[in-house]
């Protein structure tokens, strides 16, 4: 039944192009993950908190407010390739002076209005603020080149540049924490300068070699010389396009709200001091660890099936081929629920061990294990929300999308308020509880939409949210057994804990294979078959 649901031609083209790049990007992320775990054994959690929350927030705010509006304006309309590139590049170079202004304003706030960390625990804070702000301005030097590359679909250039820059950053961090630990925040400042410098260098080197080459001539590239990437003026033409400048200003006014909603947790931690610097560091690390599952497991599924549903169904119209679409949606929900439940069950029992192996006592003592256990439960909500919103966004009409944007705005504002209140009450766990409540409301909205979408049919894809009773029993037994064993002893107890978990996981997978036959068929026909096609 499900084999007939194939997207229109052209759907798999990008997969064959981006597949190797995506796998290479995952490889770099895994290597970065391991290098960061090594670094955690040499620094304090207070240092990590200041770097990962406060200084990173300074950098991301500066860069976002300086360039986001320009990117959206210059990449919109006419596919971004038929524009007057002289005027576009002139407009993009305005990001540099704007970045300098934001660096001065935000740097002043970070230096004189926010709480200064203890110089004994976190040395060289003032110099680190200056260097992080400078690294943001340095990255803006590559902005015209980045927009040109994106407009002409040089996707691989972005992946390669960011991957190499991240490897360079992690390598410098590891070397300095081992051989120059007394540098304090200067370690991470230097590493971040290397990161942004590498990004700029990669784009400059590529375009220096590409412009004027035979390949550029074959592609009818609109720029011929490296000097064309610098600001300049053609005789008889305005310096910049007035309509593009007005559009940039419109996007700029929206960017403030978007940045606050995107980095809401960090702004609350930074400006309201709801957590100590040490707790901020532990929370940020646990948050990054937990979100890795969403990035590596659930995000690829959501992106693939968003395209799938968008190709099969007509936006804003009733469902056709209801039986086929229903089967796919039901199996997809069942898949992410099963994966989410497995992560929740085993994440609860193995949080302490995982954090101890990754970051040592810095993470495994204190609130770290509790935070990761709570995040393991949150992953289940992330999984369900990702698939339900994937279907909803692929089928909503433009009017429905506009209404939903208002709903999302209200939910985001309520999330910030809940985060502030719950964090005062429960510490770092409060952020995760606020995320759970926010995600739960989004799921409820999506489930109501899906129910209405299929209300004229006897098909009920939401049954996929309920795994089989034998699987639920196996998960309950595994949760009870793995929670009993303690991994805080020596390696003998840890190995026993791992062995018990392996047996329980094998039990859960065996029960899944026996009781979820339709799910196994779905995996073979829709996931494994697509993976084989991408790798051949």
Domain match, 54 and 120 both: yes
- Per-residue model confidence (pLDDT) at position 183: 92
Confidence band (pLDDT; 50, 70, 90) for 216? confident
What's the domain count of the chain? 2
Q: Write down which residue in 230, 262, 294 finishes a domain.
A: 262
Do 297 and 258 share a domain, yes or no? no
Does residue 330 form part of some domain? yes
Instruction: Answer yes or no: do 199 and 315 share one domain.
Output: no
Query: Do 285 and 258 share a structural domain?
Result: no
- Indicate if the pLDDT at residue 9 is higher than 50: no
Q: 1 lies in a domain?
A: no
Positive/negative CA dihedral, 511, 512, 518, 523: negative
Percent of the chain topping pLDDT 90 = 37
Considering the domain boundaries, does residue 4 fall inside one? no
What pLDDT score was predicted for residue 298?
Answer: 86
Identify whether residues 246 and 313 lie together within a single domain.
Answer: no
Burial class (CB in 10 A: 0-12, 13-18, 19+), 250: exposed
Asked whether residue 145 is domain-assigned, the answer is: yes
What are the C-alpha distances in Å from 313 to residues 7, 389, 392?
10, 15, 11
In a domain, 526, yes or no: no
Does some domain include residue 458? yes
439, 387 contact by CB (below 8 A): no
- Mark whether 230 and 342 lie in a shared domain: no
- Distance (Å, whole) CA 93 – CA 71: 12
**pLDDT, position 530:** 56
- Using the 3D structure, point to which of 466, 491, 508 is the last residue of a domain: 466
- Residue 257 and residue 292 share a domain: no
The yes-or-no verdict on residue 141 having pLDDT over 90 is: yes
pLDDT for res 533: 52
Assign 3-class secondary structure to 165-183: HHHHHHHHHHHHHHHCHHH
Angle at 197 between CA 191 and CA 202, to 5 degrees: 125
Chain mean pLDDT for the chain: 83
Measured CA to CA, the distance from residue 308 to residue 297 in angstroms comes to 17
Domain boundary among 402, 431, 466: 466
pLDDT category at 529 given cuts 50, 70, 90 is low
Please tell me the predicted confidence (pLDDT) of residue 13: 39
What contacts 24+ positions apart, CB below 8 Å, involve 443-450? 443/381, 443/384, 443/385, 443/388, 445/404, 445/407, 446/385, 446/388, 446/389, 446/391, 446/392, 447/388, 449/392, 449/396, 450/329, 450/388, 450/391, 450/392
pLDDT tens readout for residues 330-364:
889 999 999 999 999 999 888 888 888 888 888 88
- The rounded distance, in Å, linking the Cα atoms of 430 and 148 is 42
pLDDT for 236: 64
The span from the CA of 94 to the CA of 89, in Å, is: 9
When pLDDT is cut at 50, 70 and 90, the band that residue 81 belongs to is very low
Q: Is the pLDDT of residue 217 over 90?
A: no
User: With bands split at pLDDT 50, 70 and 90, how would you rate the model's confidence at 532?
Assistant: low
Question: Is 393 in the same domain as 454?
Answer: yes
pLDDT band at 27 (very low <50, low <70, confident <90, very high): low
Place of tokens 């089967």: 327
The winner for highest mean pLDDT among 175-189, 294-308, 362-376, 472-486 is 175-189
Q: Indicate whether 241 and 378 sit together in one domain.
A: no
In a domain, 35, yes or no: no
Q: What confidence tier does 2 reach under pLDDT thresholds 50, 70, 90? A: very low
State whether 451 and 317 are in the same domain: yes
Within 11-94, where are the H helices?
13-39, 45-49, 56-74, 85-92
pLDDT band with cut points at 50, 70 and 90 for residue 17: very low
Give me the pLDDT at residue 322, please.
59
**Domain carrying residue 306:** 276-466
Residue 86 pLDDT greater than 50, yes or no: yes
Is 368's pLDDT higher than 50?
yes
The pLDDT-based confidence of 320 (bands split at 50, 70, 90) is low
- Residue-wise pLDDT tens digits, 296-305: 788 888 877 8
- Characterise 43 by phi-psi region: left (phi > 0), alpha (psi -120 to 50), beta (else): beta
pLDDT tens for 394-433 read 888 777 877 887 888 888 888 889 899 998 888 889 999 9
pLDDT at 495 over 80: yes
Give the model's pLDDT for residue 95: 94
Residue 528 near residue 494, CB atoms below 8 Å: no
Q: CB–CB of 432/378 below 8 Å?
A: yes
The number of residues making up the chain comes to 536
Mean pLDDT of 170-193: 92
Mark whether 125 and 171 lie in a shared domain: yes
pLDDT computed for residue 79 by the predictor: 39
pLDDT tens track for 426-466 = 888 999 999 999 999 999 999 998 888 887 777 788 888 88
d(C-alpha 407, C-alpha 389), whole Å: 13
At residue 153, the pLDDT reads: 79
pLDDT, position 432: 93
* 201 in the same domain as 86: yes
Q: Helices H, strands E: what count in the chain?
A: 23, 0
Angle at 117 between CA 113 and CA 120, to 5 degrees: 145
- Of 303 and 19, the structure prediction assigns the larger pLDDT to 303
| Residue 4 confidence (pLDDT) | 38
Residue 15 lies in a domain: no
pTM metric for this prediction:
0.82
E strand or H helix at 120:
none
């Amino acid at each position: 039944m499900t084999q007939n649901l194939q997207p229109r031609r052209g759907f798999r083209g990008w997969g064959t192009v981006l597949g190797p790049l995506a796998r290479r990007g995952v490889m770099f992320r895994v290597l970065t993950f391991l290098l960061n775990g090594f670094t955690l054994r040499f620094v304090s959690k207070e240092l990590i908190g200041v770097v990962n929350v406060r200084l990173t927030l300074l950098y991301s705010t500066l860069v976002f407010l300086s360039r986001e509006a320009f990117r959206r304006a210059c990449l919109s309309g006419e596919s971004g390739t038929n524009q007057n590139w002289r005027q576009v590049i002139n407009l993009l170079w305005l990001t540099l002076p704007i970045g300098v202004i934001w660096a001065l304003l935000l740097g002043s706030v970070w230096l004189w209005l926010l709480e200064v960390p203890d110089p004994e625990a976190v040395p060289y804070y003032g110099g680190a603020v200056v260097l992080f702000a400078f690294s943001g301005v340095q990255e803006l030097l590559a902005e015209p080149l980045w927009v040109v590359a994106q407009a002409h679909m040089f996707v691989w250039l972005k992946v390669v540049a960011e991957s190499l820059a991240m490897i360079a950053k992690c390598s410098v961090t590891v070397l300095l924490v081992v051989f120059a630990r007394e540098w304090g925040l200067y370690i991470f400042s230097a590493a971040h300068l290397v990161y942004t410098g590498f990004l700029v260098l990669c784009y400059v080197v590529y375009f220096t070699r590409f412009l004027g080459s035979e390949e550029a001539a074959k592609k009818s590239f609109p720029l011929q010389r490296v000097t064309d990437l610098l600001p300049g003026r053609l005789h008889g033409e305005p310096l910049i396009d007035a309509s593009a400048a007005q559009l940039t200003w419109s996007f700029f006014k929206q960017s403030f709200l978007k940045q606050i909603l995107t980095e809401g947790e960090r702004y609350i931690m930074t400006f309201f001091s709801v957590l100590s610097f040490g707790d901020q560091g532990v929370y940020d690390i646990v948050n990054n660890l937990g979100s890795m599952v969403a990035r590596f497991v659930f995000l690829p599924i959501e992106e693939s099936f968003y395209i799938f549903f968008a190709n099969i169904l007509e936006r804003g119209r009733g469902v056709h081929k209801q039986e086929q679409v229903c089967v796919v949606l039901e199996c997809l929900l069942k898949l992410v629920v099963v994966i989410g439940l497995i992560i929740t069950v085993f994440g609860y029992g193995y949080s302490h061990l995982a954090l101890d192996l990754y970051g040592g006592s810095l993470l495994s003592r204190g609130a770290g294990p509790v935070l990761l256990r709570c995040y393991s439960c949150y992953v289940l909500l992330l999984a369900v929300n990702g698939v339900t919103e994937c279907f909803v966004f692929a089928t909503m009409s433009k009017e429905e999308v506009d209404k939903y944007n208002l709903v999302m705005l209200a939910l985001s504002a309520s999330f910030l308020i809940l985060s502030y209140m719950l964090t005062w009450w429960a510490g770092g766990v409060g952020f995760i509880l606020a995320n759970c409540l926010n995600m739960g409301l989004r799921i409820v909205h999506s489930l109501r939409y899906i129910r209405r979408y299929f209300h004229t049919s006897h098909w009920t894809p939401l049954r996929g949210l309920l795994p089989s009773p034998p699987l639920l029993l196996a998960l309950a037994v595994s949760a009870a057994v793995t929670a009993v064993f303690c991994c805080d002893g020596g390696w003998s107890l840890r190995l026993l804990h791992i062995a018990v978990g392996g047996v329980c996981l094998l039990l859960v997978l065996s029960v899944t294979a026996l009781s979820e036959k339709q799910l196994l068929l779905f995996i073979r026909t829709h996931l494994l078959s697509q993976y084989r096609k991408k790798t051949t």
